[in-house]
Homo-oligomer: A and B are copies of this chain.
């Protein structure tokens, strides 16, 4: 931690800060600068809350060097983590996985058709929403428990593991009965109680980045799960909210190599939500593979024009076939 004093701060102010740092159990080292003094804090073993310091007279700014996470960090755990779901492995050294399926599970017929198609084209895992977080209460909210059963059955029928979102703690037991992997959606990335609870389970977790979450916050959210005991976490970049409205979100692809340098957990990309436009999904998924993503998650629907949600970004079967050809190609040739 570095404490920057303002230009007018005198020796008394510096002494006050030094004393406050000492009281916290750390050592303060003054660094006289051009126009003002900075004070380095030495001896802390983790993130220090800056509250006590920030308010002292003469203090201009407090700069943190220590990150708000530890267990997820490569500093702490240098080796790559590979997450296993049934026999499927996600992570470094593994071929990128494709997780496909509809936004919402709408019927057994729909889900089975998609499952067969995903399986047939070489996808590795099924997705489908039974509980849906929708902006307004008047939108379709998902089939609930019935949807879970449909998803589970479709997965078992074609021999693929399934992932689905859990929105509340009270659903955890139910969802865990049917899902091979639990998804925490973007809107719940900082639902810390939910993170703590999935951290107590022995079940892989897919953690989506929040719409306006910084990388530090994203990794700190994963830290909640690891601290609670579950290190089988796969991160998912799904686009962030920016001023640009031409796409649903802005896909922040550079976080893939960046996160891989900071964190040992696998990271995949969801180009469907990131772009909101079925015409952009395949090129952006190929780009994700090329920058080193450990997988992609994609929305597939037998008839997107009749989908109950997210139709505009879902691939129909011919588009999904084309998608898989592209992904297979770039998986083969990527370096």
**Cross-chain contact of A191 among B44, B49, B191, B256 (Cβ < 8 A):** B191
In Å, the complex CA distance between A87 and B289 comes to 34
Q: How far is the CA of A162 from the CA of B299 in the complex (A)?
A: 44
Q: How far is the CB of A249 from chain B (nearest CB, A)?
A: 9
Q: For the complex, what is the distance from the CA of A245 to the CA of B214, rounded to whole Å?
A: 8
| A36 at the binding interface (Cβ < 8 Å) | yes
Interface residues of A in 63-83 (CB under 8 A from B): 63, 65-66, 68-70, 75
Nearest-CB residue, chain B, relative to A219: B136
Report Cα–Cα, A42/B39, bound state, in Å. Answer: 12
Q: Determine if B40 and A38 form an interchain contact, defined as CB atoms under 8 angstroms apart.
A: yes
**CB-CB under 8 A for A44 and B33, given A68-B138, A290-B287, A335-B326:** yes
Are the C-beta atoms of B242 and A250 separated by less than 8 Å? yes
For A167, the chain B residues whose CB sits under 8 A away are: 191-193
Q: Beyond the given A33-B44, A33-B66, A53-B305, please list 14 additional residue pairs across the A-B interface where CB-CB is below 8 A.
A: A7-B75, A20-B305, A33-B42, A51-B305, A51-B308, A52-B307, A137-B223, A137-B227, A167-B192, A212-B243, A244-B255, A250-B252, A251-B252, A258-B280
Stoichiometry (number of copies) = 4
Interface presence of A220 (CB below 8 A)? yes
- Across the two chains, which residue of chain B brings its CB closest to A248? B254
**A214-B245, A254-B280 known; A35-B75 Cβ under 8 A:** yes
7 cross-chain CB contacts under 8 A: A33-B65, A51-B305, A51-B310, A54-B312, A137-B223, A187-B190, A240-B243
Q: Within 8 Å CB of A46, what residues of B?
A: 34, 138
Q: Are B278 and A257 in contact (CB under 8 A)?
A: no
Task: Name the residue on B nearest A53 (C-beta).
Answer: B305
Q: A110 contacts the other chain (Cβ, under 8 Å)? A: no
Which residues of chain B come closer than 8 Å to A308, judged between CB atoms? 49, 51
Q: Which of A14-51 contact B (CB under 8 A)?
A: 20, 29, 31-36, 38, 40-47, 49-51
Check B258 against A68 for contact (C-beta < 8 Å): no
With A56-B305, A65-B36, A192-B134 known as contacts, the answer to whether A258 contacts B254 (CB < 8 A) is no
> Does A311 count as interface, using CB distance less than 8 angstroms?
yes
Most chain B C-beta atoms within 10 Å of own C-beta, residue among A51, A247, A329: A51
Contacts of A212 in B (CB 8 A): 211-212, 241, 243
Of A61, A214, A253, the most chain B CB neighbours within 10 A belong to A253
